[in-house]
Amino acid sequence: MSLSERIISSNQGLLEEMVQLKYKAMSENAFRFFRGTCDLFYQDLKTWKEIPGSPLGWICGDLHVENFGSYKSDDGQVYFDLNDFDEAILAPVIMELVRMLTSIFLCFDFLELEEIKAVNMVQVFLRNYSAVLVKAKALPIEPRIAKGIISTFLQSVSKRKQSRLLEKRTEVRKRKLVLSLTDERHFELDKEERKELILHLTDWINNHSISPYNYKVKDVVFRLAGTGSVGIKRYMFLLESVQKRGKYLIIDMKQALGSALSPMIDVKQPNWESNAERVVFVQQMCQHMPCALLSHTNFRGDSYVMKEMQPNEDKIKFKLIQDQYRDVYQVIDDMAFLTASSHLRSSGRKGSAIADELIEFGTNQSWHQSLIDYAHSYSKKAMIDYDIFKQEFDAGTYQVMEK
Backbone dihedral angles phi then psi of residue 157, each to the nearest 5 degrees: -70, -25
Average pLDDT over residues 90-95: 98
pLDDT of 24 higher than 70: yes
Angle formed by the axes of helices 115-135 and 325-345, nearest 10°? 40
pLDDT number for residue 229: 86
SS3 category, 14: coil
pLDDT of 403 higher than 50: no
The mean pLDDT of the chain is 94
pLDDT number for residue 210: 83
- Contact (Cβ atoms closer than 8 angstroms) between residue 217 and residue 237: yes
pLDDT of 400 higher than 60: no
pLDDT in tens, 303-347: 999 999 999 999 998 888 888 988 999 999 999 999 999 999 999
Residues of the chain with pLDDT > 90, as a percent, come to 87
Element (H, E) at 216: strand 215-223
CA-CA distance, 282 to 279, in Å (whole number)?
5
Identity of the amino acid at 309: M
pLDDT in tens, 296-307: 999 999 999 999
Backbone dihedral angles phi then psi of residue 248, each to the nearest 5 degrees: -125, 155
pLDDT number for residue 16: 85
pLDDT in tens, 105-122: 999 999 999 999 999 999
pLDDT number for residue 402: 43
> What pTM, to 2 d.p., does this model score?
0.95
Count of other CB atoms within 10 angstroms of residue 370: 15
Residues of the chain with pLDDT > 70, as a percent, come to 99
pLDDT in tens, 137-175: 999 999 999 999 999 999 999 999 999 999 999 999 989
- For residue 122, give every residue at least 6 positions away whose Cβ sits within 8 Å of its Cβ, in sequence order, or none: 101, 104, 105, 372, 375, 376
Task: Compute CA 141 distance to the chain's CA centroid, rounded to the nearest angstrom.
Answer: 18
pLDDT in tens, 43-85: 999 999 999 999 999 999 999 999 999 999 999 899 999 999 9
Average pLDDT over residues 229-245: 94
- Contact (Cβ atoms closer than 8 angstroms) between residue 398 and residue 392: yes
pLDDT of 178 higher than 60: yes
SS3 category, 351: coil
Question: Is residue 90 very low, low, confident or very high in pLDDT (cuts 50, 70, 90)?
Answer: very high
